[in-house]
Each structure stands twice: as C-alpha cells, then as structure tokens.
Amino acid sequence: MNPVHEVFPFHEDSQIAAALGELLVQRGTDDPQSVTEVANNFGLCPHELQRAAIQLGIEDELTEKLRISDSERSPPRRPPEFLRSKQAVTREYDGLRDPKSSHLPSRTNEMSFQSWLLVEATKTARESINQLLRGQLGEEVDTIRVSTEAAAGTAPFPERVLWVGVSYPVDATEDGATSAVPNPPPFPFDRLTEILPSTTDATVEHDGEIFVVRNIPVTAFKELHRL
C-alpha cells in the first residue's frame, strides 16, 4: 500500500482555515471586515484567529491587528519531516508561442517539493470547485471566475499561501454609465455561499507516495468593477 501523508498548510481546524482564507480576501474589498468580525462569523475567538494568522506568516496582510502579548504568540510552523526531506522538483509549463512557428515550447522551473505540492494541490482543488459549480449552475458558471489566490507569507511552512477564490463580479459604475460587467451573474451572491464548501481537500501523488492536502480555504467574494 502506498504511503499516505496528510498536509495542513493553513490549519488543522477546518473552521480556522476557512476563516484565514476569508481574512485574506478582505484585503481587496472596499469595506473589509475586521479580524473580530470574521472570527465572530466563524464562531471563533478573535485572538485565536490572529494567532493562527501569525503562525501562517500573513500578519502583514491583515486589515486589522489585535494586541497580542509575546506570551500569546505561537512560533511559525515548520514543515513536517516528510516534506523537509524531499528533493526539489522541476515543473513544466507552457511557454510563449513563437509567432513564426506553430510549436508551443515547454518551459521549466525548479521549486522546493513543498511549494510544488501546494501549487499542484491548489490547482486540483480549483478544478474540483469549478466542476462542482458547473454541476450546480450549468453555463451560468461562466459569469463568475474560479482561480488560485495567493498571499505573501513569511513562515517556513507553508512556503506558499494558496487557496481557491470564487470571484462574483459586481458593477460599481455610477448610475447612467455603461456597465463594467456586460455579462453579470443571473443569480445572487448568496447562491455561491450555499453551494461552496468552506474548505476542501486535494490529493497529489508523487513517486508512489500519496499526499492529502487538507483544509484548503474556498472563499467567494464580490469583485467590484468600474469604468
């Protein structure tokens, strides 16, 4: 039987992981929620959520910082041994097409195994969420965008702070102006929150080993468009 490893890049508690994802999407909103508001929405203690953000290395990304004493702070997490012992991975991706040729060259870059695993897991999670939404919404899913979101983290683990974002476009132009969203979603934003899980898991295989990356946040957010 192939070895199976569990990886928790955000947090072992799925509610805390989901709340961390929600905190991160607040950065780009016009009226961001505070740490306290997000924590309350998930039934968490605000200080507990901020401590988790510090461990994740995203404290600088927050729109609000609570006062936390040094004794309350937890040190940043380190990657588990089964990740630290892995060799770097060379990842291939499509390059730019030569206008004089029909050939699409492949390009490569080398990254740590941890980074490669998190990139691949989030890609798998994104595709899974896209399939879920298409199954529920049909062609209407084409009016929203499912993407891999990223934040700059400073902790040794995870090296890459990645999650799945679902963008719901909202026209924020002034009355009478041409719409900035020519094909708006025909369903309310709350429909997304009814369909989407707060977190998801993704499985990645490598050299006969199975890695289950758990509690990847899935966050729906309104993306304002203006002309």
145-203 pLDDT tens trace: 999 999 988 888 898 899 999 999 988 887 766 788 888 899 999 999 999 999 999 99
147 part of a folded domain? yes
Do the Cβ atoms of 52 and 24 come closer than 8 Å? no
Beta-sheet strands, E only, within 64-208: 89-94, 106-111, 145-151, 161-171, 199-206
pLDDT at 63 over 80: no
pLDDT at 71: 62
pLDDT at 176: 63
How far apart (Å, rounded) are the C-alpha atoms in residues 40 and 21? 14
76 part of a folded domain? yes
100 part of a folded domain? no
pLDDT at 52 over 80: yes
pLDDT at 165: 96
Do the Cβ atoms of 220 and 142 come closer than 8 Å? no
pLDDT at 102 over 80: no
97 part of a folded domain? no
- Which residue carries 């953000």 as its tokens? 53
Q: pLDDT tens for residues 112-148?
A: 899 999 999 999 999 999 999 999 999 999 999 999 9
How far apart (Å, rounded) are the C-alpha atoms in residues 89 and 11? 25
Burial 177-211 (b: 16+ CB within 10 A, else e): eeeebeeebebeeebbeebbebbbbbebeeeeeeb
Cis peptide upstream of residue 185 (ω within 30 degrees of 0): no
Q: Which pLDDT band, with edges at 50, 70 and 90, does 223 fall under?
A: confident
How far apart (Å, rounded) are the C-alpha atoms in residues 147 and 161? 14
Residues 6 or more apart whose Cβ sits within 8 Å of residue 197: 218
99 part of a folded domain? no
96 part of a folded domain? no
133 part of a folded domain? yes
pLDDT at 67 over 80: no
pLDDT at 93 over 90: no
Q: pLDDT tens for residues 9-34?
A: 999 999 999 999 999 988 767 778 88
pLDDT at 48 over 80: yes
- Which residue carries 């004794």 as its tokens? 71
Beta-sheet strands, E only, within 95-198: 106-111, 145-151, 161-171
Structurally, the chain folds into a number of domains equal to: 1
pLDDT at 37: 92
Q: Can you tell me whether residue 171 is helix, strand or coil?
A: strand
Do the Cβ atoms of 41 and 34 come closer than 8 Å? no
Rounded mean pLDDT, 28-45: 88
120 part of a folded domain? yes
Rounded mean pLDDT, 75-103: 73
Range of the domain at 219: 4-91+106-225
